[in-house]
Amino acid sequence: MRRWAFALALFGFLQNAAADCERVVVSQEHRFCLSTLIHGLEHPWGLAFLPDGRLLVTERRGRLRLIQDGRLRPEPIAGLPEIRQYGQGGLLDVALHPGFAENGLVYLSYAGRDRQGLGTGVLRGRLEGDRLTQVQVIFRMQPKLDSSIHFGSRLVFDREGQLYVTLGDRGHRERAQRLDDHLGTVVRLLDDGRIPPANPFVGREGVFPEILTYGHRNIQGAALHPNSGKV
Domain ranges of the chain: 1-37, 41-214
Per the residue annotation, which of 150, 172, 182, 216 is the catalytic one?
150
CATH number of 41-214: 2.120.10.30
**pLDDT value, residue 116:** 87
> What is each CA distance from 155 to 99, 174, 183, in whole angstroms?
15, 24, 16
pLDDT in tens, 17-69: 555 789 999 999 999 999 998 999 999 999 999 999 999 999 999 999 999 99
In the predicted structure, residue 163 carries a pLDDT above the cut 90: yes
**Residue 150 designated active-site:** yes
Read off φ and ψ for residue 168, nearest 5 degrees.
Answer: -80, 170
Task: Kindly report whether the global pTM for this prediction surpasses the value 0.85.
Answer: yes
Which among 192, 228, 231, 190 has a CA at the least distance from the CA of 213? 231
Note the pLDDT tens digit of each residue in 126-153. 999 999 999 999 999 999 999 999 999 9
Instruction: Give 181's contacts (C-beta < 8 A, 6+ positions apart).
Output: 142, 143, 175, 208
- Whether 12 has a pLDDT exceeding 60, the answer reads no
